[in-house]
Chains A and B, each alone.
Chain A
Amino acid sequence: MSTADLEPQVSALRAMTLIVGRELRLSFRRPEQVLQPLVFFLIVTTLFPLGLSLQLSLLRDMAPGVLWVAALLSSLLSLDALFKGDADDGTLDQLALSGQSLTAIVLAKTASHWLVSGAALVLVSPLVGIALGIPWGVFPTMLGSLALGTLCLSWLGAIGAGLTVGLKRGNVLVSLVVLPLAMPLLIFGAGATDRAAAGISPAGALYLLGSLCVFTCTLAPFAVAAALRITLEG
């Protein structure tokens, strides 16, 4: 048997489809892992009106920022599930040894993670929007910016998760690592929603958010794969 005989027989696309299928199946078998960050999102948005003021006009001004900060924090919570399970039971080793490129594997895992965390958040956000008094006209911008933003966040979070997966008490460290990197995201995302709420066109902010998203989605997979290789050496 020489090396020539054993080229990988499964294409990257097929492998990624398999992994997405695996991740989604696992998520549906543990629905609480998907629901808990969403509930956290709702709870955190409740904290702001309770802590500050019930004046609806004031809330409305703050709403985009509150929404975004809550989305950011609840995304951090769901990051734990991204690599930790696989690292703990040894499946991450198997994925790394599958003959598929680690970057492709990372792409599939993060995309499925976004589907069950970020996309779910976007679906729940109208409830929060109503609770915080965001006008209906702003909803498209809000949903669009959240969709782009949570995607970006999944990638930044994946970098943080990939770096800290083997560590005890890695959760706080993940936040410390990811939050500064996520600040531009917050600025553009909340800024877009804000501008829409003020009646100004959010297009500029959305374009900036979009280009940030493209930039992150292009480079982050390599960074996450590199981070996982460092983790696997342990």
Chain B
Amino acid sequence: MWTWFYKLASPPSVYRTATALTPWFMTVALIAIACGLIGGLGFAPPDYQQGDAFRIIYVHVPSAYMSLFCYSAMAVAGAIGLIWRIKMSYALAAATAPIGASFTALALVTGSLWGKPMWGTYWAWDPRLTSELILLFLYAGVMSLRPAFEDPARGDRAAALLSIVGFVNVPIIHFSVQWWNSLHQGSTIAKIGKPSMPGSMLWPLLTMLLGFTCFYAAVVCMRLRGEVLNRERQSAWVREAVKS
């Protein structure tokens, strides 16, 4: 049974699967995002407290969600690579990292744009945004560690170990930042909270979540193809694939 799995995880098979799946994921992603944006920007009623400013949650919340999802995926892929020594797992972790970091940056930017109408300033050390910022630093650590090793295999293993350590720390960081914020928070600054959600507000959000997830899947497949080709560049099948 395991031979089937190892065959699936072999580089040529991963390459073929990724190539095949990319257009499907991308199509679903684009449709979902389009629907979500139309629903969220057009159809959803303005929030009675925040007016039209809240609409940025249609980009902010899915980004924040994806930033955590990608970090978890990266840590799990790293763990699989370390425990079962599957090299393609490391390729997946390497492919996911920059995507996750980009989602984190997007969450930070959209969060601070949201903050301007709410707080009057672009950055007010809101606990959720501060946690996102620390998450960005965690991504930076993993992404800097991998290329620092001369032997890419050791770099993969070190980055995998670091992403697992970071993963364990994410809930701790989140909790500690909330705690810190509850000490220092003045009553004038409101946290970025989701507005109360009638159905017409909710479905575009869920659609955007689906769209972002499929977008991630599509992009990771594209990056994965590149990673696989790079890592396996010495092998015969790659030379064949590049020739054709």
Give the interface of A toward B (CB within 8 A). 159, 163-164, 166-167, 170, 173, 176-177, 179-181, 183-184, 187-188, 191, 194-195, 208, 212, 215, 219, 223, 226-227, 230-231, 233-234
Contacts and interface: CB of A to CB of B under 8 A. Distances in A.
A188 B176 contact: yes
A180 B177 CA distance: 12
B173 interface: yes
B165 A223 contact: yes
B141 A180 contact: yes
A163 B173 contact: no
A72 B145 CA distance: 21
A190 B187 CA distance: 22
B145 A163 contact: yes
Contacts, number: 76
B169 A170 contact: no
Contacts of A163: 145, 158, 161-162
B157 interface: yes
Nearest to B171: A184
B161 A226 contact: yes
Given A167-B149, A173-B148, A223-B165, A183 B158 contact: no
Contacts of A230: 154, 157-158, 161
Nearest to A200: B183
Contacts of A179: 137
B6 interface: no
7 contacts: A164-B148, A167-B149, A176-B144, A177-B141, A180-B141, A181-B138, A227-B158
Of the candidates B137, B149, B151, B172, the one having the most CB atoms from chain A within 10 angstroms of its own CB is B172
B176 A177 contact: no
B158 A191 contact: no
B80 to A, nearest CB: 15
B165 A181 contact: yes
A193 B135 CA distance: 26
B137 A212 contact: no
Contact of B161 (A167, A195, A227): A227
B179 interface: yes
A187 B177 contact: yes
B160 to A, nearest CB: 9
A136 to B, nearest CB: 23
B124 interface: no
B8 to A, nearest CB: 26
Nearest to A204: B179
Interface in B133-161: 134, 137-138, 140-141, 144-145, 148-151, 154, 157-158, 161
A227 B138 CA distance: 17
Contact of B176 (A167, A170, A187): A187
Nearest to B139: A180
B168 interface: yes
Contacts of B134: 180, 183
B154 A184 contact: no
Given A173-B144, A180-B141, A191-B183, A219 B158 contact: no
B180 interface: yes
Nearest to A205: B179
B40 interface: no
B166 interface: yes
Contacts of B145: 163-164, 173, 177
Closest 4 interchain pairs by CB? A184-B176, A180-B137, A187-B180, A187-B176
A173 B176 CA distance: 24
Nearest to B138: A180
A208 B179 contact: yes
A127 B1 CA distance: 66
A85 B154 CA distance: 21
A208 B175 CA distance: 11
Contacts of A159: 165
A184 B172 contact: yes
Given A163-B162, A191-B180, 19 more contacts: A163-B145, A167-B148, A173-B145, A173-B148, A176-B141, A180-B134, A180-B137, A180-B141, A183-B134, A184-B172, A187-B179, A191-B183, A212-B172, A223-B161, A223-B164, A227-B158, A227-B161, A234-B151, A234-B154
